[in-house]
Amino acid sequence: MATDNQSSSFDPARLDWEKGEGLLPVVVQDAANLRVLMLGYMNREALEATLTDRRVTFFSRSKQRLWTKGERSGHVLDVVSVEADCDNDTLLVLAHPRGPTCHLQRASCFPSAPAAFLSELDALVAQRERERPADSYTTRLFEAGVRRIAQKVGEEGVETALAAVAQDEAALLGESADLLYHLIVLLRSRGLSFAEAVGVLRERHGA
């Protein structure tokens, strides 16, 4: 029943199904930016289908049947990991959404659900790389090539270092923001993502 990326601490056999009369609440987050996407419920069969098919499947209390998110719209949720809370009576699913999760065509069923901004910026940069809008500075960077982007990262790194020793806090913050942006563009120019760089940090930290 396990997925390739399932949390090593997750043990379906330990789940407390009795507390919710056979149903567990399930919080779904976007694996890319950690935005909360929706809340649903799973019974044992829904969880097994989710882990086997790697698409989030709920038990619909109104329809009284299994329901795979996006089965009609195509806006499915591809499972990355499943984790239980400390009481083993609630599940957290990280997933990659294919399109808007909400039936109102919003990214989340919670209109103001926050997301990690750098992940959103990374996604925007990736979109710019694919679409190459003519009036975009990011497009001009991609079209200049990886060497020019790498040069910009070097320039911004130097400017950040100089701001740290010779300028005020506002200047340092501004230069740091420029450095982060150009670093994200550089990673994308090499087919990499900001999340992958964060993943290396997470592995080094032992998280």
**Mean pLDDT confidence for 186-190:** 98
Residues 91 and 164 in one domain: no
Does 51 map to a domain?
A: yes
Pairing type for strands 91-97 and 24-30 reads parallel
Radius of gyration of the chain, Cα coordinates, nearest whole angstrom: 21
- Based on the fold, state whether residues 88 and 122 are members of the same structural domain: no
Q: Which residue has the tokens 């990673």?
A: 187
pTM of the model: 0.75
For residues 5-17, average pLDDT: 77
Q: What is the CATH number of the domain that holds 33?
A: 3.10.20.810
d(C-alpha 63, C-alpha 19), whole Å: 22
- Structural domain including 28 reads 12-97
Q: Is 17 helix (H, G, I), strand (E, B) or coil?
A: coil
Q: Note whether 136 and 76 are same-domain residues.
A: no
Quote the pLDDT of residue 1. Answer: 38
Shared domain check, 81 and 131: no
Last residue of a domain, one of 97, 127, 156: 97
* Statement to judge: residues 71 and 139 lie in one domain: no
Q: Is residue 196 part of a domain?
A: yes
87-99: pLDDT as tens digits: 999 999 999 999 9
Domain boundary residue among 97, 126, 148?
A: 97
Q: How far is CA 42 from CA 29, 52, 56, 83, 186, in A?
A: 16, 14, 10, 13, 41
Residue 207 CA to residue 31 CA, distance in Å, equals 16
Per-residue model confidence as pLDDT tens digits over 21-46: 999 999 999 998 999 999 999 999 99
Residue 7 lies in a domain: no
What percentage of the chain carries pLDDT values higher than 90?
90
Beta-bridge partner residues of 95: 30, 79
Amino acid 103 reads: H
pLDDT over 60 (residue 62): yes
pLDDT at 3 over 70: no
Q: Identify which has the larger pLDDT, 207 or 110.
A: 110
User: Residues 91, 139: one domain?
Assistant: no
Q: State the virtual CA torsion across 106, 129, 114, 75 in degrees, nearest 10.
A: 30
Query: What is residue 206's predicted lDDT score, i.e. its pLDDT?
Result: 79
pLDDT band for position 2 (cuts 50, 70, 90): very low
Q: What pLDDT was estimated at residue 6?
A: 54
pLDDT at position 128 is 97
